[in-house]
Amino acid sequence: MNFAQLFRKKSIAQIQRDAASGFSDGEGGHGSGLVRTLGTLDLTALGIAAIIGAGIFSTVGTAAFNGGPAVALLFVFTAVACGFSAMCYAEFASMIPVSGSAYTYAYAAFGELVAWIIGWDLLMEYAIGNIAVAISWSDYFTKLVNSTGFLHIPEYFTMDFLSASRGFDAVNKLLAEGQTLQSIAQKPELSNIYDGYLAWTTAPQMGGFHLVCDLPALMITIIITTLVFIGIRESKNASNAMVALKVAIVLFVIILGAFYVKTENWHPFAPNGVSGVLKGISAVFFAYIGFDAVSTTAEECRNPQRDLPRGMIYSLIICTVLYVLISLVLTGMTSYKNLMVGDPMAFVFGPQGANLIWVERIVAVSAVIAIATVLLVFQLGQPRIWMSMSRDGLLPPIFSSIHPRFKTPWFSTIVAGFVVATPSLFLNLTEVTDLTSIGTLFAFVLVSLGILVLEKDKSFERKFRAPYVNSKFIAPVLFLLIMGGLAAYDSGSFFKEIAAAISGGWDLFKHKIPIIVYLFVAFGTVCMCFLRNLSLIPVLGFLSCGYLMTELGITNWTRFLIWLVIGLVLYFLYGSSHSKLGKK
């Protein structure tokens, strides 16, 4: 294989002809067999289902603790950054109305190797994201069931093996230091390790092996995978019903909570300054992950070129409004200092807040429903990306096999369920959940770049186009204003930190590598804007999502790059020799 073959592209014109004929996005033109049943309302609901999940019920608390009431502005900023990318996704969806999402878009814009990289990246995003979602659902479900007093799920069936083992070791260490088991149990900050200790000491043993696993996480994954396997119409109906219920509950919480807001809690608005607000970027962005999954259902839409753009943009706008209102209500009901909890919405209505226990229970139920819908949408998206990669020959043919009765990619759905269910049963993924954010942002960056690559191409129809705004002067002015603001803020601490890292040795320098590289890339992009009159919206999508990636830390970058290297090895072992484009 020569270098040029690595970047062979799929023809958008051919993809459009296949789609118009009812064929798949594979160049061979095999019948899709999927059922076209989704409209704008369904797609908007799927987007809301994917976005309103663990973020609004948990991570908003951490973000508010760091940034104070000003976290509402961070939700707006992050939504704008996602909005630029959403416009690019929408434009691609109107050009390429087939399954595959960013993978298929990259195949058309950059060629096969980049398409494989982004496809492999999306597999990580969806798999790790859903494992984290399944574990989060298990936590909420366990607390809800145990709080009723009618049923108790044993601790050894509510967590992973590693957490239980670590909890056992940590409690034993505290006991050796003179603390009692009773005193440890009464300390809220030690509740996690105490639960781990109980799980380890009460778990059944087989040959000395402690049987500890997260059974609810397995249960919900099996239920959702079965629903997705049975069909898109059933998944749509379930999603619409759950979305209607959880949006109603969120609105109820906002309206009721508004009566308990104390405006003095909003002062100071940004108690920890800009740096405190920005600490919440990862948590806030995680709340928005998922709207791109809507694009994977393109072949099950009645009118994908019209409805996909609407569904993505409508869902993003609706969720942004809800996030901003929720963050303002939470920080108004109690001091931001009290929100470093895993369930802030329930907390503000609990004994330490408004003391409305019945509302606390309603929030707990809605959290279980909301997180289940996120799992549903991600389990819909992952098999359809595998299906698209298989059609192109980059994965074995069975991954694109459609069930004759249920009209779903049955093998891919089963594998996706297995990939999520098994790790969620046994593994602790606290340290790798940020990989979901970095993987998603990488997809957003490539989609934005793809629009820039294809913006001058007039050989195919666009049913939706992001508004063209000439970035020739706007981008340089924005860049200079931002750099000037950073130089002026806190006596230029931003640039001082970079200078200190460069002169402070590798241990300091490595943590600043992402932002240093970004600054050079941003400067080069601004120069290209001036020279090539690039469209402003994809440029802003590329730059804003690129910046958010720099906030995720060198450790996540290292893990992300290792994952991509593994993907490249698999591509050269199988995909490059089985590619259908390579056989033409």
Q: Which of 125, 108, 106 is nearest to 556 (CA)?
A: 125
C-alpha–C-alpha distance, residues 172 and 158, integer Å: 21
C-alpha–C-alpha distance, residues 317 and 291, integer Å: 11
* Residue 294 φ then ψ, to 5°: -60, -35
* Residue 488 φ then ψ, to 5°: -85, -30
pLDDT, tens digit, 9 for 90 and up, residues 256-271: 999 999 899 998 888 8
Q: What is the DSSP string of 341-384?
A: SS-HHHHTTSTTTT--HHHHHHHHHHHHHHHHHHHHHHHHHHHH
251: its two tokens: 């609105």
Quickly list H helices, 408-473. 410-426, 434-454
The confidence band for 19, taking pLDDT boundaries of 50, 70 and 90, is low
Q: Which of 555, 551, 433 is nearest to 136 (CA)?
A: 433
With contact defined as beta carbons under 8 Å apart, do 140 and 57 qualify? yes
Q: Could you tell me the CA-to-CA distances from 203 to 145, 152, 162, 447 in Å, in that order?
A: 19, 14, 13, 48
Look at residue 100 and tell me whether its pLDDT is greater than 90: no
Which element (helix H / strand E) includes 14?
helix 12-20
Residue 414 is predicted with a pLDDT of 92
Residue range 413-433: average pLDDT?
77
Residue range 179-208: average pLDDT?
85
Look at residue 30 and tell me whether its pLDDT is greater than 50: no
pLDDT, tens digit, 9 for 90 and up, residues 136-159: 788 878 878 887 777 888 988 988
Residue range 350-356: average pLDDT?
77
What percent of the residues of the chain are helix, what percent strand, and what percent coil, each to the nearest 5? 75, 0, 25
- Domain spans of the chain? 3-147+217-454, 166-208, 474-578
C-alpha–C-alpha distance, residues 270 and 67, integer Å: 6
CA 60, chain centre distance (Å):
15
Look at residue 31 and tell me whether its pLDDT is greater than 60: no
With contact defined as beta carbons under 8 Å apart, do 156 and 204 qualify? yes
pLDDT, tens digit, 9 for 90 and up, residues 233-254: 777 787 788 888 878 888 888 8
**Hey, which of 215-229, 515-529, 556-570 has the most confident mean pLDDT?**
515-529
**Hey, which of 147-161, 209-223, 335-349 has the most confident mean pLDDT?**
209-223
With contact defined as beta carbons under 8 Å apart, do 288 and 59 qualify? no
**Hey, which of 20-24, 35-39, 431-435 has the most confident mean pLDDT?**
35-39
Q: Which residue has the tokens 């781990």?
A: 196
Look at residue 23 and tell me whether its pLDDT is greater than 60: no
Q: Considering only residues 520 and 504, tell me which one the structure prediction assigns the higher pLDDT.
A: 520
Look at residue 583 and tell me whether its pLDDT is greater than 90: no
Residue range 53-57: average pLDDT?
66
Q: What is the mean pLDDT of the chain?
A: 83
Cα four-point dihedral sign 440, 568, 90, 528: positive
The confidence band for 430, taking pLDDT boundaries of 50, 70 and 90, is low
Look at residue 201 and tell me whether its pLDDT is greater than 80: yes
Residue 520 is predicted with a pLDDT of 95
Residue range 197-205: average pLDDT?
91
pLDDT, tens digit, 9 for 90 and up, residues 456-481: 777 666 778 888 899 999 999 999 99
The confidence band for 25, taking pLDDT boundaries of 50, 70 and 90, is very low
Direct distance between the N- and C-terminal alpha carbons of the chain, in angstroms, rounded to an integer: 14
Residue 434 is predicted with a pLDDT of 66
Could you say which of 2.60.40.4070, 3.10.20.10, 1.20.1740.10, 3.40.630.10 is the CATH number of the domain covering 3-147+217-454? 1.20.1740.10
The confidence band for 99, taking pLDDT boundaries of 50, 70 and 90, is confident
Residue 539 is predicted with a pLDDT of 95
Percentage, residues of the chain above pLDDT 90 = 18
The confidence band for 21, taking pLDDT boundaries of 50, 70 and 90, is low
With contact defined as beta carbons under 8 Å apart, do 38 and 232 qualify? yes
With contact defined as beta carbons under 8 Å apart, do 64 and 514 qualify? no
DSSP 512: G
Residue range 6-27: average pLDDT?
64
Residue 436 is predicted with a pLDDT of 75
Residue range 198-226: average pLDDT?
89
Helix axes 112-148, 434-454, angle to 10 degrees: 140
Give this prediction's pTM: 0.81
Residue 18 is predicted with a pLDDT of 61
- Please name the residues in contact with 406: beta carbons below 8 A apart, sequence gap of 6 or more: 229, 230, 231
Look at residue 423 and tell me whether its pLDDT is greater than 70: yes
Residue 188 is predicted with a pLDDT of 65
With contact defined as beta carbons under 8 Å apart, do 95 and 460 qualify? yes
Residue 328 is predicted with a pLDDT of 92
The confidence band for 569, taking pLDDT boundaries of 50, 70 and 90, is very high
